[in-house]
């Protein structure tokens, strides 16, 4: 069976960059289900901009692996969602197409960089969406908008067709209003792809279970320390208490490497961005350059005009970190810190099956409130460790502070995505009674 889904959202939140007014679908497990796709994931015949002027007219000739899987299962791709430019941001305010507004409170940010996907789900435009997560870009907007978002284990979902920002960190993942729908979408997109050399053949075929009796929940004090709003911390501790009431056991664990996580993350991700974004030069990708100028002048002018401030900042930071005489001082040390964090998680998982803490240190802040880069980067402190370690992490709504959603973050061992989904599902089912 084939059909067409008419899609005309009242996009007062600026959640979409491009919409497909008539989205075709076919028979399958997701037949006729409207799915929104973040605008850095390639869609054949549908504009894919990365929320950047440098790609504002780019239409990919092929589907990303995950998009092909969605189409095979009958999903209707109804639009491409707004995002921080090239995924570089925590608020979806760096988009060249304007900021996204949080449906919970339109004066607030939705989180980033998958803010458009989160807003589209939270507003009820679509039941599920795809986002990407480099340092928290699925979990942050899920927490701020009061929905569920899963960052899969690195290597479990193909990145083929994802326009790269930081290859060694980013993952495509599902976002929805319920854990069950997140799990359902994950079961579609987690299929082996030989095009992605970082993938392992570990398909996800799982129906969530609320039976978590005996589950060991690790609680690291580092996730409740300086910078975390005490009311957010209290709300999350109450949520952990709900898991205890369902038969889980809490155990103290430690992630001491967290003190270096943010610095390591920003050195690594900006270094990879510097390399990845070099292709946008007006020759391979981007608008054609002025051929009357020297190559260097044309290249400089194009990137100055078409890249936003935050993208240029991160390219410069990464170029500096990789430059002669500094690569050993910064990039190599960041990789050592990354290995230490991974080992911290491995030690913690000897005593715990999942690790619990807040997704974000605060609730959603107001649009324009955080204008200096440092304060924005500090917002990622609780999400980047999971990316550095490559472990799965989910954010599930667990209450409100000042009427704004708070997210409970649950992290698991590599390729134990099912376990974190079950823990989130058990919590969700209990509080929805």
Does 42 participate in catalysis according to the annotation?
Answer: no
309: tokens are 């401030």
CA distances from 307 to 274, 354, 365 (A): 13, 40, 25
Does 113 participate in catalysis according to the annotation?
Answer: yes
From 42, 52, 95, 113, active-site residue: 113
First CA to last CA distance, the chain: 37
Does 38 participate in catalysis according to the annotation?
Answer: yes
Helix (H, G, I), strand (E, B) or coil at 220: strand
Phi then psi for residue 127, to 5 deg, are -80, -20
Q: Are 131 and 138 in contact (CB under 8 A)?
A: yes
- Least Cα distance to 387 among 288, 262, 294, 286 occurs for 262
Q: Are 84 and 310 in contact (CB under 8 A)?
A: yes
From 95, 114, 117, 137, active-site residue: 137
Dihedral, CA of residue 172, residue 420, residue 138 and residue 78, to nearest 10? 60
Q: What is the largest CA-CA distance in the chain?
A: 71
Return the H-helix or E-strand segment holding 304.
helix 295-306
Q: Are 125 and 410 in contact (CB under 8 A)?
A: no
What is the C-alpha to C-alpha distance for residues 205 and 74, in angstroms, rounded to an integer?
18
8: tokens are 């005309």
Q: Are 132 and 88 in contact (CB under 8 A)?
A: no
Sheet of strand 16-19, all strands in order from the earlier edge strand to the far edge: 16-19, 76-81, 34-38, 128-133, 171-176, 148-151, 393-401, 404-412, 354-358, 216-220, 249-253
**364 secondary structure, DSSP code:** P
What is the C-alpha to C-alpha distance for residues 175 and 148, in angstroms, rounded to an integer?
6
Return the H-helix or E-strand segment holding 400.
strand 393-401
What is the C-alpha to C-alpha distance for residues 378 and 380, in angstroms, rounded to an integer?
5
Q: Are 237 and 357 in contact (CB under 8 A)?
A: no
Q: At what angle do helices 179-189 and 417-431 cross, to 10 degrees?
A: 160
What is the C-alpha to C-alpha distance for residues 15 and 264, in angstroms, rounded to an integer?
31
What is the C-alpha to C-alpha distance for residues 73 and 408, in angstroms, rounded to an integer?
30
From 38, 73, 151, 370, active-site residue: 38
Q: Are 172 and 159 in contact (CB under 8 A)?
A: yes
By annotation, the residues acting in catalysis are 38, 113, 137
């Amino acid at each position: 069976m084939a059909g067409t889904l008419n899609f005309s959202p009242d996009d007062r939140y600026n959640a979409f960059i491009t919409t497909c007014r008539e989205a075709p679908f076919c028979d399958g497990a997701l037949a006729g289900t409207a799915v929104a796709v973040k605008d850095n994931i390639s869609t054949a015949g549908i504009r894919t901009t990365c929320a950047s002027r440098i790609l504002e007219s780019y239409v990919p000739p092929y589907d990303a692996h995950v998009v092909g899987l969605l189409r095979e299962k009958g999903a209707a791709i109804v639009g491409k969602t707004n995002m921080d430019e090239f995924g570089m941001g925590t608020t979806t305010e760096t988009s060249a197409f304007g900021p996204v507004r949080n449906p919970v409170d339109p004066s607030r940010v939705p989180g980033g960089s998958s803010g458009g996907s989160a807003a589209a789900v939270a507003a009820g435009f679509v039941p599920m969406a795809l986002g990407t997560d480099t340092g928290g870009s699925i979990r942050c907007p899920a927490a701020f908008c009061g929905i569920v978002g899963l960052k899969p284990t690195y290597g479990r979902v193909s990145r083929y067709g994802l326009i790269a920002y930081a290859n060694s960190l980013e993952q495509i993942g599902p976002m929805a209003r319920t854990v069950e729908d997140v799990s359902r979408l994950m079961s579609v997109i987690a299929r082996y792809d030989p095009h992605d050399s970082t993938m392992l053949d570990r398909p996800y075929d799982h129906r969530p279970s609320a039976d978590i009796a005996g589950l060991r929940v690790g609680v690291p004090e580092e996730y409740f320390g300086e910078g975390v709003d005490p009311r957010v911390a209290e709300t999350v501790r109450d949520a952990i208490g709900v898991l205890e009431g369902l038969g889980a056991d809490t155990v103290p664990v430690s992630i001491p490497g967290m003190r270096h996580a943010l610095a390591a993350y920003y050195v690594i991700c900006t270094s990879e961005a510097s390399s990845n974004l070099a292709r946008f030069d007006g020759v391979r990708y981007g608008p054609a350059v002025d051929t009357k100028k020297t190559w260097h002048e044309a290249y400089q002018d194009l990137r100055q005009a078409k890249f936003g401030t935050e993208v240029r900042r991160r390219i410069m930071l990464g170029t500096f970190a990789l430059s002669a005489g500094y690569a050993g001082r910064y990039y190599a040390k960041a990789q050592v810190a990354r290995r230490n964090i991974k080992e911290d998680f491995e030690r913690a998982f000897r005593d715990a099956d999942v690790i619990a803490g807040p997704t974000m240190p605060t609730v959603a802040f107001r649009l324009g409130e955080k204008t200096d880069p440092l304060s924005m980067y500090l917002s990622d402190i609780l999400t980047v460790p999971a990316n550095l370690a490559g472990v799965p992490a989910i954010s599930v709504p667990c209450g409100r502070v000042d009427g704004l959603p708070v997210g409970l973050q649950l992290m698991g061992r590599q390729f134990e995505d099912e376990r974190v989904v079950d823990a989130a599902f058990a919590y969700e089912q209990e509080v929805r009674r």
